Structure 1
Amino acid sequence: MTVHSLSPTGNCKGLKEGQASYSWCVRNLRTLMVFTGIWPMEPPTLLLNVSYYYNATTFTLVICGMMAGAISVMDNYDLLVDNLSINLIFTEIFIKCILIKIYSKPLSRVLSLMKFDWISLKGRGPIHGDVLQSENIMLLHANIPRIFFIAYTALALVAWTATVVAAVSRKSSKMQIDASNAFPMPSWYPFEMHSTPNYEMLLTFQVIIGCSIAVSSAAVDSLLVTAVFHVCGQLEILRKYFENLHSSETALEETEKKVAAAIKRHSKLIDLCDLIEDCYSQITLSQLLVASLNVCLSGFGLLLAIESGNIKVFLKFLLLLIAMLQQILIYSVTGDYLSSKSTAIRSAIYKMKWYELPPSLSKALMLIAIRAERPLVVTAGKFFPMSLENFTQIIKTAASYLSVMWAVHKK
């Protein structure tokens, strides 16, 4: 796929202000993604590579230990469900980090295009300079992902802290200290894990790696939200541009130039959205599959806890279920918002005074309206659009699988 080149426009002041605004937009996200080694930078720095391979190695050790832990409790249904519910989450996050690294080059291109948009905005470039509210629109669409990233990261760390506290409580209360669930990441390693100082060292290792994994998950999802909301902000600016594109006082020659600029801009935004889709399609698919499976496991754990009357286990699986639904919902809301903003272009063209334009310009606008009728989407694996409508279908499917699992368990 070809992405149209986009050159910064405006004076030196606009260039500096645009770069500063872009840096403000991604600063928090970039800091944590550099820490985990997954910030899409071309070429990657030595620090970025060292950080990535260190985290990849430690993630692999942790996941292998968790898989061994699952094998060691195969005969215990409750412990197996407990292990898999955590194991699947960390495995899926590891897969997301690998895919982000694989797609670092196109993602770097996405970030460059976002930077150029901010430069054009501050330099009052074409279209941005014609829409008075353009800066406020972009600030709004930049603030939402920033707030989301901070809140999501905080929630992920709080959830991980609660998991650690629960594991330490089991250990201190002498509950199943010989089982793999004595650790926040249910694991098994070929040495005595529960004696001092082995337990303390392994617990510290898991706590540190768990924080890194939690931050990585929040960062990967937040990068998608940041990129998509940037496109949505640009689409909103373009929508307002179309609404005010022509009036009775506007010269025909000026209108022709505006229509040409709008067509080019719309094409570039479609290309940018396609580039984001190419990068995140497989990530979204892995997220959808694992989260859906974990919804089933969490629901199954809830039913087991209700059956046994264990309140602590019930609360644990309830929080886990909410977390899994939240992850699917994030992608669904983001995709739904993108679709609504892209199709709003068609309504804007309909509302403008297109009937006062020559047939050639009217036909050009009609082509844009026809293209805008097909919404821009975030898909899982290029075949399943993420939207609020499909979110309900995911829940229904997961509930069906859960009922089958419970029926098999009862037999």
Structure 2
Amino acid sequence: MRDEHSVLGVIPAPSGRSKADLRYSTELSRWFLAPIGIWPPKSDAHIIEKIISELLVFLSCFLICFQLVPCLLHVFIKEQNPKRKMKMIGPLSFSFISISKYLFMIVRKQQIYYCLEHIDVDWRRVAHLDDREIMLMKAKLGRFVAWLCAAFMYGGALFFHTVIPFAARSAVTPDNITLRPLVYTIYDPLFSAQTTPSYEIVFTIQCVSGFVVCSVTTGACSLAAVFVLHICGQLTIVRSRLDTFVRGRKDENKNVERRMAEIIELHLRALRFAIRIEGILTEVCFIELVGCTMNICFLGYYFMTEFDQNLASGPITYCILLVSFAFNIFIFCYIGETLTQQEDKVGRAAYMIDWYELPPKTARDLILLLAMTKNSINITAGKMAELSLQTFGGVLRTAAGYLNLLRTLMM
């Protein structure tokens, strides 16, 4: 492995501190992704642990399909009322988007494991207290983002799967059959979900599948935040090394060439990690971008229709979900913008050092670093759109435009 013979030295063995730091930075993502089988087991994990992970993947796919397929059949085969059909398309689109993201994350599971190994090595290599403080600060920000995402997503899902069905009134058919409300309508010829205990079983399974769907969205968001903010931490360390490059740190005794080699390798290592993260997240980000645009549009429509009916539970639930989806896409765009800004700051730091105090050969080596920072790194959505705050504004404008069209056609 190339890292073992780098100028940064041989990779130290895991210590108690490095294990605690790694656990602190990735703990929340593991909580969200392990129950759905996406969190990769270690290479030396017991075979039972690997089998359980694969079983969780199968179970999660089954639960999402149980939520998606019967309702899909009902909407496109049985339901004839356009407004009721539109009311069901929004939750269906969210489930379809979630299983699409889930499948892409399953395919990238091994790459996620390599990224976690990369972060583990970075924590083990921390030699200076200042560097560790920088990494811990970024890890703390990643945890905060994960907590916020989980609070909005699980909170909205809890309201949607409990308040909405319980607030809805049971309907009675002309055949004197009582139809009890479900979160996702079931196609009757497939199986009956209105008799006891079928209704209770189906309702419980739909709530569990809602937890899986929310875990996919929350896990993807938290994983992106952890990975990208870790890169930002490494780039911040590169910038701090550049700030002390000419005279060196007070606690180190290295010549200028050695310090330059360390800066170049740290920068290249961060760039390689960013390229790998881009490969893992690009499809997920594209699905999230398109999905959030659609969901914000649908939720705005549902909010207006429920508000017109003077029902308090519906607008509150849809408002929470609306904020949740807007926050999710904002996080993806925010971390993309932060990554690009950090790379620009590295370039400015390299430009602003007192290069005239350096030996001529070492000063010329800075040209390479400056040239590399000109090609800014970023996270894209399907290689088509860079994730930035400008993209977030575009998503909101597009969702508002589609909402206006939908309101004109349906209301």
Structure 2 distance, partners of 1:325, 1:11, is 41
Amino acid at match of 2:409: V
The reply on whether 1:144 has 2:141 as its aligned counterpart is yes
Q: Residues 176, 148 of structure 1: CA spacing in aligned structure 2 closer, same or farther, 3 A cutoff?
A: farther
Structure 1 distance, partners of 2:210, 2:196, is 21
**Which stretch shifts more, 74-83 or 179-188?**
179-188
Per-residue Cα deviation, 1:245-272 (whole angstroms, up to 9, x for no partner): 0139999981122112211211111010
How far does residue 329 in structure 1 lie from its aligned partner after superposition?
Answer: 0.6
Q: CA RMSD in A?
A: 2.9
Structure 2 distance, partners of 1:203, 1:362, is 68
Per-residue Cα deviation, 1:187-236 (whole angstroms, up to 9, x for no partner): 43522222222111111111122223222321121111111111111111
Identity %: 19
Partner of 2:46: none
Per-residue Cα deviation, 1:45-88 (whole angstroms, up to 9, x for no partner): 11111111121122222211221232256422332222121111
Structure 1 distance, partners of 2:109, 2:4, is 20
Amino acid at match of 2:391: N
- Say whether the 8 Å CA contact 2:170–2:181 is kept in structure 1: no
1:308-387 → structure 2 map (5 Å cutoff)? 308-387=309-388
Q: Residues 41, 274 of structure 1: CA spacing in aligned structure 2 closer, same or farther, 3 A cutoff?
A: farther
- Say whether the 8 Å CA contact 2:381–2:387 is kept in structure 1: yes
The reply on whether 1:185 has 2:184 as its aligned counterpart is yes
Amino acid at match of 2:223: L
The reply on whether 1:76 has 2:73 as its aligned counterpart is no
Partner of 1:21: 21
Structure 1 counterpart SS, 2:67: helix
In structure 2, which of residues 46, 54, 60 is the aligned counterpart of residue 49 of structure 1?
54
1:198-213 → structure 2 map (5 Å cutoff)? 198-213=198-213
Structure 1 distance, partners of 2:223, 2:180, is 33
Amino acid at match of 1:207: C
Per-residue Cα deviation, 1:89-146 (whole angstroms, up to 9, x for no partner): 122121111111101111111111100000001xx1xxxx4xx511111111112222
How far does residue 336 in structure 1 lie from its aligned partner after superposition?
Answer: 1.1
Q: Residues 278, 159 of structure 1: CA spacing in aligned structure 2 closer, same or farther, 3 A cutoff?
A: same
Structure 1 distance, partners of 2:386, 2:111, is 21
Q: Residues 204, 115 of structure 1: CA spacing in aligned structure 2 closer, same or farther, 3 A cutoff?
A: same
The reply on whether 1:174 has 2:170 as its aligned counterpart is yes
TM (normalized to structure 1)? 0.88
1:113-128 → structure 2 map (5 Å cutoff)? 113-121=118-126, 124=127
In structure 1, which of residues 157, 160, 165 is the aligned counterpart of residue 154 of structure 2?
157
Q: Residues 56, 111 of structure 1: CA spacing in aligned structure 2 closer, same or farther, 3 A cutoff?
A: same
Q: Residues 11, 88 of structure 1: CA spacing in aligned structure 2 closer, same or farther, 3 A cutoff?
A: closer
Q: Residues 137, 211 of structure 1: CA spacing in aligned structure 2 closer, same or farther, 3 A cutoff?
A: same
Structure 1 counterpart SS, 2:321: helix
Structure 2 distance, partners of 1:108, 1:248, is 35
**Which stretch shifts more, 285-294 or 297-306?**
297-306
Per-residue Cα deviation, 1:355-387 (whole angstroms, up to 9, x for no partner): 222333223212212321332211100121111
- Say whether the 8 Å CA contact 2:179–2:194 is kept in structure 1: no
Q: Residues 315, 32 of structure 1: CA spacing in aligned structure 2 closer, same or farther, 3 A cutoff?
A: closer
Q: Residues 82, 9 of structure 1: CA spacing in aligned structure 2 closer, same or farther, 3 A cutoff?
A: farther
Structure 2 distance, partners of 1:201, 1:143, is 40
Partner of 2:277: 276
Amino acid at match of 1:350: Y
Amino acid at match of 2:181: A
Structure 1 distance, partners of 2:26, 2:221, is 13
- Say whether the 8 Å CA contact 2:161–2:207 is kept in structure 1: yes
Amino acid at match of 2:276: L
In structure 2, which of residues 86, 92, 105 is the aligned counterpart of residue 87 of structure 1?
92
- Say whether the 8 Å CA contact 1:293–1:398 is kept in structure 2: yes
Structure 2 distance, partners of 1:338, 1:259, is 23
Partner of 1:38: 38
TM (normalized to structure 2)? 0.88
Amino acid at match of 2:341: S
Structure 1 distance, partners of 2:90, 2:4, is 45
Amino acid at match of 1:117: D
How far does residue 14 in structure 1 lie from its aligned partner after superposition?
Answer: 6.3
- Say whether the 8 Å CA contact 2:297–2:399 is kept in structure 1: yes
Structure 1 distance, partners of 2:377, 2:172, is 51
**Which stretch shifts more, 311-320 or 398-407?**
311-320
- Say whether the 8 Å CA contact 1:180–1:188 is kept in structure 2: no
How far does residue 239 in structure 1 lie from its aligned partner after superposition?
Answer: 0.5
Partner of 1:390: 391
Amino acid at match of 1:87: L
Partner of 1:293: 294
Partner of 2:64: 59
Partner of 2:265: 264
**Corresponding residue pairs, total:** 399
- Say whether the 8 Å CA contact 1:40–1:100 is kept in structure 2: no
Amino acid at match of 1:356: E
